[in-house]
Amino acid sequence: MAQDTKQDAASGKKLKIAVIGGGSSYTPEIVEGFIKRYDELPIGELWLVDIEQGKHKLDIVGELAKRMVAKSGLPIKVQLTLDRRAAIKDADFVSTQLRVGLLEARKWDEHIPNLHGVIGQETTGPGGMMKALRTIPVLLDICKDIEELAPNAWLLNFTNPAGMVTEAISRYSSVKSIGLCNAPIGLHKWLMGKYEVEAKRIYTEFVGLNHLHWVTRIEIDGADKLPELLDKSEEYSGKNVPPTEWDPEFLRTLGGYPSYYLKYFYMPDVMLDEQLTSLQNNGTRAEVVKRVEDELFELYKDPNLEEKPKQLEQRGGAYYSEAAVNLMVSLHNDRRDIQTLNVRNGRVLDFLPEDAAIEVNCVVTGQGPLPLPVTKVPENAKGLIAAVKTYERLTIEAAITGDRGIALQAMAAHPLVPSVSVARLLLDEMLEKNRPYLPRFFK
């Protein structure tokens, strides 16, 4: 495969890329990445795919994509379609960035848990579980098309919850898949600004799961910066997570720089209070995002707009697409650089099953990512990683079987759900709210 990619590049073979969820507000960013990296990733066809309910957005963002490519002068043919199979056929890369149930479903993922005094978040806790139940069957259906129509394609998934989706694909299909998140590249961008250095001078080591990781090494030009970062209250945080400060002594002794999602586990009381206040003032995060998206699509409609607007960075998923393009470039060119990805565990974390998906550093070759051994795993992190992985595996099983008993076990196993009785309440209400998207639970 590595030799094949080099031969393809030498022969001038043009690539076909399918973006499923092409009507997403993120699409201009990935198109910008394809344009910037064309010399390393020579795309002949870019297919943007969506479903009937997303056709309006696909048309708007697709026309912007065409204008961006036209301005670049590159020979990339942009195709807009609702025919997923046509887009996938003979593709070299398939990228998934979809949201089953759209932002309306996310609103209830966040709101219903809050009504019962539980964290409401789209990838963490009960909300993340519902998103997984809606999403995993759809992704596995897409994988059937890839197995049939493009068996050599790489599937790059940054549909959330990315870890669970990646694990389900790895365990229940033969598709070559890799999960992506914007948190690692976002941290690097923050470190680049903080220390005024280029990316190549930074080394970080990630340990854990998607949205549940610890950065156990942060080095600038080989110098260890982890102690000073853990000794300060300043932090890198995502747009979708409130910037609550950590307890200084707790942070100093944690053993790794925590993902901002870990706040939901380490300070759930504070985070819940912030969510409830935000809910009262601005609505759910989904409602905030919808307002941002509506503004973005108004901008995208402008026939004179020929580039990604700055306002897209307010959407909350900055650098996702840059991470995706980086990964495609490395796979296509056998670059053998290090990227933080969601991949099969193997024996990297010896306290988890070998077929579990984990988020760790990998060397990216033309044959795929090779996960690197981790040099440090904080002892205090192991229990939480194992507990959340148990919940994830139960959720995957529930998504595939539609078994309510397994779903209840999954909900009750999550560390943020306080009791079985609350788990039962949440499960019943949230399954009913998601009835249109969960036919396996309503046979």
Q: Which residues are catalytic?
A: 261
Give the integer Cα–Cα distance in Å for 54 and 298: 15
Pairing of strands 202-209, 212-220: antiparallel
The 10 Å CB-count burial string (b at 16+, else e) for 307-320 is ebeeebeebbbbbb
* CA-angle at 136, arms to 354 and 83, nearest 5°: 130
Give the integer Cα–Cα distance in Å for 388 and 304: 47
- Residue pair 170/357 in contact (Cβ under 8 Å)? The answer is yes
Using omega within 30 degrees of 0 as the cis cutoff, is the peptide bond preceding 309 cis?
no
Q: How many CB atoms lie within 10 A of CB 39?
A: 9
Give the integer Cα–Cα distance in Å for 254 and 127: 27
409 DSSP assignment: H
The 10 Å CB-count burial string (b at 16+, else e) for 428-439 is ebbbebbeebbe
- β-strand partners of 205: 217
Give the integer Cα–Cα distance in Å for 8 and 332: 9
Q: Where are the beta strands (DSSP E) in 288-439?
A: 337-344, 357-365, 368-371
Give the integer Cα–Cα distance in Å for 245 and 247: 7
Q: Where are the alpha helices (DSSP H) in 37-125?
A: 55-72, 84-88, 102-115
